[in-house]
Structure 1
Amino acid sequence: MLSTSSDVVNDVDDNAVARSDVHRPGLPRGVARGVFAGGVALSALLMFWGAWERRWIADDGLIVLRTVRNLLAGYGPVFNAGERVEANTSTAWTYIVYGTGWLTGIRLEYVVLGLALVLSTTAVVLAMLGAARLYRWRLRAATGTVLLLPAGALVYIAVPPARDFATSGLETCLVICWLALVWLLMVRWATPDPAGERALPGTVGILGTAFVAGLGPLVRPELAIVAGLTLAVLFLADGLTWRVRVAMVAVAGAVPVVYQIWRMGYYGLPYPNTAVSKDAGGAKWSQGFEYLGNLALPYLLWLPLLFLVAVAAVVLLSTGSGRGVRARFPARGTDMRTLVSTGRKALRTPTAVVVLILVCGVLLMLYSLRVGGDFMHGRVLLPPLFCLLLPIAVIPLQVPDRSGLGNNRPTRIAAAVAVLWAGTVLWAFFASNTTGMPEGAVVGRSGIVDERAFYSLNTGHLHPIRAEDYLDYPRMRAMVSTIANTPNGGLLLPTPAYDAWDVVPPPEPIPPGGAGHTVFFLNLGMTSMNVGLDVRVVDQMGLAYPLAAHTERLEDGRIGHDKILYPDWVVAESGMVDRYPWLPPYLDEEWVANAKLALTCPETRELLDSSGAELTWPLFKRNLRNAFEYAGYRIDRVPEYEIQRCDLPIPPPGG
């Protein structure tokens, strides 16, 4: 099977694996192992140290911890108790943090920091192991000594945002670790042990790979692209019985399908609420390309990619053969059955795995560009970049044996690879010390910001990690004081002053213990983590607030912040006093009254009940049935226009 299933096998004869153990004059055998082990250790150390030096937890990272706090308190996977809203994009990250926090009892900020450091470092190691396996197999019959040098791994580490988001409390560390694990498993699936000690993975290995790949949508929704293509390659490849294929589908789909059914019934949506809030299906190509330039241009990122692509081309050309090319393309006139059979055999090859991972990287990048990128410098392009670098995480430098030394082809190839690798290392040194956004702490015209620099500057902490570090962010201490000074409860609205909040009081009679507080503010993480779980926290963008999430997107809004709900809606929805002098002067009594009326729209009421009403079996079934319809439902942010859209009776002026 091996001689027909791998295009690499066409480059050497059937005894190549056996001959791979034959000694060839060159550097001592231990040197190659030592160089690779040292490269892995150095890369892992650089990733760990670089992430530690830039350690922090973003405001969005603290959003995750609010949900984890509710889980630990027994309120379920929600942001506000009693409101079933999935405010975190990565389901897997939420539950990994929850499980680790529950097992260790350690403060959640430190749980996140520890997990992020471990996962980011592990991702680099797995990426290098996969690439090393690939090159060892391809060059198993090479003479001389093959040194595997860290390359793509260094490129990724050198990009400053990669070290910023190695921590940050967000799921980037988990995403790249999952990508690296899928890469390693797929390379192992397609290549036998180069030493000839083990054959291709069997049924257990295939099912294990399918299970890991199937988790992609739970790691992050758009990773369904990678999961789907990977599973398709596994399913269609030659050599599997239909029983194994059925088992593979069952294993891959068990967790994500069960969770998807539960998500739709519990939350009333087919994907996280963040996708609704940010209209993840919309297109903002021009903003996306601006975002790409914001990452690639400051670091001259095209330069190392060009170097390493050249190295890959040299390796491929120097190890290819005409016989291998003919073997890959059947003769003209071959019948369809033979073509299909040849195609299925070709799927279980190293080349197919490399093509798979590169296609996945390109598709992930195109998706990120289509939605307009992000407002955080580089963040959403890091997984596509990491994916594209996986096949060149290490590169092979073939040192000729004594017979190959001199001014000949092997020596010239080795010299070219060495020069290109040295150029990559030199680029990495300068790029790692480059500030991609010199004024990144200021939100400019593009809407993109260096998020870590922004929060370090505005909190006064070089490494803002704990929730209380964010008390030094504008308005936060004033918020805590305002809540403490209003025992009756009320709605807190931010004011232009950093040391004051307006409070819209609840109607009388005030229940014993107060009516509770609602805070309306954009920065959900720092706000929610510095108050108790009894304080409701909602935002005008809708990450944790369905009413805002389902408003229409502002076409010219800042990327990632292009939904803004007027506070009049919150007064109406929360049931606070709707008359002057209790209303702040910038709110309008008529707008609040119109918002109250608009909230009686039957379709809107049904939408809000899908996540806010008590969850019963009939409601679960209704949510499951209507989840996609709810996801596409939109309201107008102007109450009067919403009344018209819903065909409700328009109240008289002043009424």
Structure 2
Amino acid sequence: MTEPVAALWIRVGQQLTALPATGWALAVGVLATITASLWWKPTHLSSRWSSARWFVGGVVVCLAVAHAWSLRWIADDAFISFRYARNLVEGHGLVFNPGERVEGYTNFLWTVLLAGAYAIGIPFGLSAIAFGLLSVVAVLWLTTRLSQLLSPYHHRPLIPVAALLLASNYVFATFGTSGMETLFATALVLLSLERAIQKSYFQAGTAGVCAMMAHPDHAIFFFALAVAIGLGRPSRTTIVRFALPFVLFFLPYFLVRWRYYDSLLPNTFYAKSADESYFTQGQVYVLISAVSAGIIGWLPLALTGLHTQRSRLFGRFLFIALPPYTLYLLKIGGDFMLGRLLVPWLPLFAISADFAARYLFAKQRRLCATIGLTLAATSALPLRILHPAEKFFHIADERTFYPVETIHPLRIDSPYSTWADQLISTFGEGSHGPLTAIGSIGIVAFQTRYPMLDVFGLTDIEIARQPIVQRGRPGHEKLASPSLLLDRGVLLTDRNVFPPEYASWTEVYPGFIPLHSLAYRTDLVTAIRKTTNSSFTDVPSRIERYEPPADDPYRVACDLWFFETYYFAHQSPQARRQFIHRLLKNGKLSPNTAAFFELSDHDEPRGWSRSLTIDFAQVDKRSWLRSGTAFDAFPTDGPILGQTRVSGHSGPLVNSFTSAQGDGALGMLQSPSFRLDGEVITLRVGGGKDATRLRAVLVVDGDEVMTATGCDSEILGRRVWDIAKFRGKSARLVVEDRSADGWGHILLDEFALWRSGS
């Protein structure tokens, strides 16, 4: 915590010293306006005074809307909701990919609202920004309304203090056009509170339920308000009226969505690991966001107002709601978007500060009020703690990543928009496009309409439920493994799936932005070839020119695995046979090994039969010798905590990775002896590539005669050993892990001994 605190205050100091005079003038102007409004009290109230207040309030609202408009942007995450809404209107259901019921959103009411607008012909860019700006107006009106309801004093200042504090606040204005539900849900929380203070409890409960349906975290505010009402000794009728909307609206909604998605909680709950604690990052998030939002300056007045309101419903609500909500933010690690989860705080703190200022002026403690207002006005200083497009301790000012270029047609000034354009120009638009897996899926998925896999798991059940290997940026800690992407049939991705030495083989450029293909398919290549400014690796030509390195048999084994997985598995059998026959002709393979390599991984060559198969699903563990701490789960019949998904095996396998030590586990595993009744051994090997420390060894009469190692991949690949000259001898299989480095583990499965009919 020390490092981020120090870095934060250094940033604040740098911003203050570099702040232009106009920045200071803005804060001074806000302070002077508020202070003058509170100092000046008319001798009598009149209709003109009331009209003037309405006029000034309108000016403040216009300034707030203009502030939000000047920062206009739409988050990549908002496009996820847009895609859900569009699929709903088009008859696919409330899904991200048609046919896949995954709740990859947490803003049901907002998404349905956008869907309704789209259904009547309003484009998403227009509706999202319009609803966002209307939410700005609603929050300001409700903030002013609550400030007036709370004040026991007849004097209402010309300037709505709380509204002006919000209008000049950068974080508040930022989420006015984000395309997200943030301010919409905040407005519903305020409406619920306002209705409760006005004793319209059914309406209060309805607004609170709507807030929960717009953002599930706001259940904290709903139940806090329920407790606050309960502490006021309400009648039974009051309790029933407030609780009735929960029974009438929320419970049916919850049960229907549970049945529809077959999940008690949204998929995002698991993707963001909300069930785990991440207090270290939560503290950083709350501090950086609070400083950026100016809440620190509001605190003296806000706490004073809270203290004076402690016996009233508003004060009870804040006392009950803020501690659990703050604890919740700390526990989950906050968010990656600067200030987003603190937005509900802003109007509540502003109202409390507004009340405190009026209270102090009424009590003739104007100096204290002026000092408090001076501190509060610092929130208007245009400090930008986070630099544009920067990730500062896992937090980013997302507005700077996704500014709006045009609203209609909707265009975001982002590489992802260009990316989507290039994909569409290459493969066309629609669900027939290639299955694509990327990290920021919103814009690309919305524009292309392709089937899409979110590598961080927001819209994927399996990825979302993976355990976290290492804490990092909230919401971006779970990552689709190469094995999963291959098994799902993904064709394009923004990350390299194969070991680094093969990155140049898989790169494709459908335009200027690089992607990686996971399979060299003719239709994919044909589409790319037809596109201007596109490029790809001519894999057939490279394979035709391929010469196995004579001094590195382990590299050759990995090359053959890669060629099979990436290229030959998607070509005609003739292509593989021609390649293998060339290697055989050049003496790079023996006739026995060529007989297996000329077929796909799981085909059996004619004239060959198995004389021995080691089935790790039924192996007698007592007959195997194990030493060290590795292989403690031998045979491994499921995922090991901390290890990414393993593929390329059938059933239980040998795995030296352990949940306790990970790659640090060392050890050896030795099979019972067996007779080499055949000429060829096939096996599948994965894990790290280190032929001296991570290896499967065939030991014959005490001599190591064959060795295999992995390829720095959790995808097991076939190895073929020609052991004809050892036929009839006794042998053992030894699997060793003597590496504690990264990729310091070995995987093995499908060990078989083959004999030829001839």
Common fold: TM-score over 0.5: yes
Look up the match of 2:378: 427
Larger relative contact order, structure 1 or 2 (CA cutoff 8 Å, min sep 6): 1
Does residue 397 of structure 2 align to residue 450 of structure 1?
yes
Unaligned residue ranges in structure 1 (runs of 5+): 1-23, 190-204, 317-348, 401-409, 490-514, 597-632
Q: How many angstroms apart in 2 are the aligned matches of 1:211 and 1:297? A: 33
Look up the match of 1:111: 127
**Kept in 1: contact 2:232–2:313 (CA 8 A):** no
Q: Secondary structure at the match of 2:73?
A: coil
Does residue 113 of structure 2 align to residue 70 of structure 1?
no
Q: How many angstroms apart in 1 are the aligned matches of 2:463 and 2:48? A: 61
Shift of 1:572: 0.9
1:491-526: per-residue Cα shift (whole Å, max 9, x none)?
Answer: xxxxxxxxxxxxxxxxxxxxxxxx752111111111
**Kept in 1: contact 2:110–2:181 (CA 8 A):** yes
Q: How many angstroms apart in 2 are the aligned matches of 1:158 and 1:642? A: 57
Q: Cα distance 1:300–1:226, how it changes in 2: closer, same or farther (>3 A)? A: closer
**Whose helix fraction is larger, Structure 1's or Structure 2's?**
1
Look up the match of 1:181: 191
Q: How many angstroms apart in 2 are the aligned matches of 1:575 and 1:295? A: 37
Q: How many angstroms apart in 2 are the aligned matches of 1:112 and 1:297? A: 28
Q: Which amino acid aligns with 2:233?
A: D
Specify which of 259, 270, 278 is matched with residue 276 of structure 1. Answer: 270
Q: Secondary structure at the match of 2:198?
A: helix
Shift of 1:473: 4.6
Q: Cα distance 1:561–1:175, how it changes in 2: closer, same or farther (>3 A)? A: same
Q: How many angstroms apart in 2 are the aligned matches of 1:53 and 1:568? A: 45
Does residue 588 of structure 2 align to residue 639 of structure 1?
no
Specify which of 98, 120, 123 is matched with residue 81 of structure 1. Answer: 98
Q: Given the two structures, how large is their TM-score scaled by the length of structure 2?
A: 0.58
Look up the match of 1:477: 421
**Farther-moved stretch of structure 1 (287-296 vs 227-236):** 227-236
CA RMSD of aligned residues (A): 3.9
What does residue range 291-370 of structure 1 map to in structure 2 within 5 Å? 291-298=285-292, 301-310=295-304, 351-370=312-331
Shift of 1:150: 2.8
Q: Which amino acid aligns with 2:480?
A: L
Specify which of 37, 44, 52 is matched with residue 69 of structure 2. Answer: 52
Q: How many angstroms apart in 2 are the aligned matches of 1:131 and 1:97? A: 31
Q: How many angstroms apart in 2 are the aligned matches of 1:561 and 1:157? A: 32
Q: Secondary structure at the match of 2:436?
A: strand
Q: How many angstroms apart in 1 are the aligned matches of 2:389 and 2:246? A: 42
Q: Which amino acid aligns with 2:297?
A: L
Does residue 452 of structure 2 align to residue 436 of structure 1?
no
**Kept in 1: contact 2:434–2:491 (CA 8 A):** no
**Kept in 2: contact 1:151–1:424 (CA 8 A):** no
Q: Cα distance 1:483–1:209, how it changes in 2: closer, same or farther (>3 A)? A: same
**Kept in 2: contact 1:155–1:424 (CA 8 A):** no
Q: How many angstroms apart in 1 are the aligned matches of 2:478 and 2:410? A: 28
Q: How many angstroms apart in 2 are the aligned matches of 1:95 and 1:48? A: 24
Look up the match of 1:7: none
Specify which of 428, 447, 452 is matched with residue 530 of structure 1. Answer: 447
Look up the match of 1:571: 486
**Kept in 2: contact 1:470–1:526 (CA 8 A):** no
Look up the match of 1:521: 438
Shift of 1:253: 2.3
1:298-337: per-residue Cα shift (whole Å, max 9, x none)?
Answer: 5653223224544676x77xxxxxxxxxxxxxxxxxxxxx
Q: Cα distance 1:390–1:643, how it changes in 2: closer, same or farther (>3 A)? A: farther
Q: Given the two structures, how large is their TM-score scaled by the length of structure 1?
A: 0.66
1:51-101: per-residue Cα shift (whole Å, max 9, x none)?
Answer: 111111111111110011101101110001000111211111111111222
**Kept in 2: contact 1:182–1:209 (CA 8 A):** yes
Q: Secondary structure at the match of 2:396?
A: coil
Shift of 1:576: 7.2
Does residue 458 of structure 2 align to residue 543 of structure 1?
yes
Q: How many angstroms apart in 1 are the aligned matches of 2:283 and 2:359? A: 38
Look up the match of 2:607: none
**Whose strand fraction is larger, Structure 1's or Structure 2's?**
2
Shift of 1:362: 3.3
**Kept in 2: contact 1:377–1:451 (CA 8 A):** yes
Unaligned residue ranges in structure 2 (runs of 5+): 1-40, 499-504, 507-517, 521-538, 540-557, 570-601, 603-638, 656-682, 686-717, 719-749, 751-758
Q: How many angstroms apart in 2 are the aligned matches of 1:39 and 1:132? A: 15
Q: Cα distance 1:160–1:572, how it changes in 2: closer, same or farther (>3 A)? A: same
**Kept in 2: contact 1:72–1:102 (CA 8 A):** yes
Q: Cα distance 1:648–1:32, how it changes in 2: closer, same or farther (>3 A)? A: farther
Does residue 202 of structure 2 align to residue 207 of structure 1?
yes
Shift of 1:210: 1.9
Q: Cα distance 1:250–1:295, how it changes in 2: closer, same or farther (>3 A)? A: closer
Shift of 1:118: 0.3
Shift of 1:185: 1.1
Shift of 1:129: 0.1
Q: Secondary structure at the match of 1:475?
A: helix
Q: Secondary structure at the match of 1:517?
A: coil
Q: Cα distance 1:388–1:427, how it changes in 2: closer, same or farther (>3 A)? A: closer
Q: Secondary structure at the match of 2:96?
A: coil
Q: How many angstroms apart in 1 are the aligned matches of 2:52 and 2:376? A: 15
What does residue range 399-414 of structure 1 map to in structure 2 within 5 Å? 412-414=364-366
Q: Which has the larger radius of gyration?
A: 2
Q: Cα distance 1:358–1:120, how it changes in 2: closer, same or farther (>3 A)? A: farther
Q: Secondary structure at the match of 1:520?
A: strand
**Kept in 1: contact 2:306–2:315 (CA 8 A):** no
**Kept in 1: contact 2:74–2:412 (CA 8 A):** no
Q: Which amino acid aligns with 1:572?
A: D
Q: How many angstroms apart in 1 are the aligned matches of 2:222 and 2:649? A: 43
1:452-490: per-residue Cα shift (whole Å, max 9, x none)?
Answer: 11234xx9x4989825654665633332233239x9x9x
Shift of 1:229: 2.2
Q: How many angstroms apart in 1 are the aligned matches of 2:143 and 2:76? A: 29
Look up the match of 2:721: none
Look up the match of 1:373: 334
Q: Secondary structure at the match of 2:157?
A: strand
1:166-202: per-residue Cα shift (whole Å, max 9, x none)?
Answer: 111111121211121122112212xxxxxxxxxxxxx
Shift of 1:217: 2.2
Q: How many angstroms apart in 2 are the aligned matches of 1:639 and 1:374? A: 26
Q: Cα distance 1:178–1:300, how it changes in 2: closer, same or farther (>3 A)? A: closer
**Kept in 1: contact 2:360–2:368 (CA 8 A):** no
Q: Secondary structure at the match of 1:75?
A: coil
Percent identity of equivalent pairs: 21
Q: Which amino acid aligns with 2:60?
A: S
Does residue 274 of structure 2 align to residue 258 of structure 1?
no
Specify which of 99, 117, 123 is matched with residue 100 of structure 1. Answer: 117
Look up the match of 2:32: none
What does residue range 222-233 of structure 1 map to in structure 2 within 5 Å? 222-233=217-228
1:331-379: per-residue Cα shift (whole Å, max 9, x none)?
Answer: xxxxxxxxxxxxxxxxxx9613322134313322221121111111111
Does residue 281 of structure 2 align to residue 287 of structure 1?
yes
Q: Cα distance 1:558–1:422, how it changes in 2: closer, same or farther (>3 A)? A: closer
Q: How many angstroms apart in 1 are the aligned matches of 2:47 and 2:306? A: 25
Q: Which amino acid aligns with 2:277?
A: A
Q: Which amino acid aligns with 1:427?
A: T
Look up the match of 1:332: none
Q: Secondary structure at the match of 1:455?
A: coil
Q: How many angstroms apart in 1 are the aligned matches of 2:647 and 2:236? A: 59
Q: Which amino acid aligns with 1:181?
A: L
**Kept in 2: contact 1:54–1:164 (CA 8 A):** yes
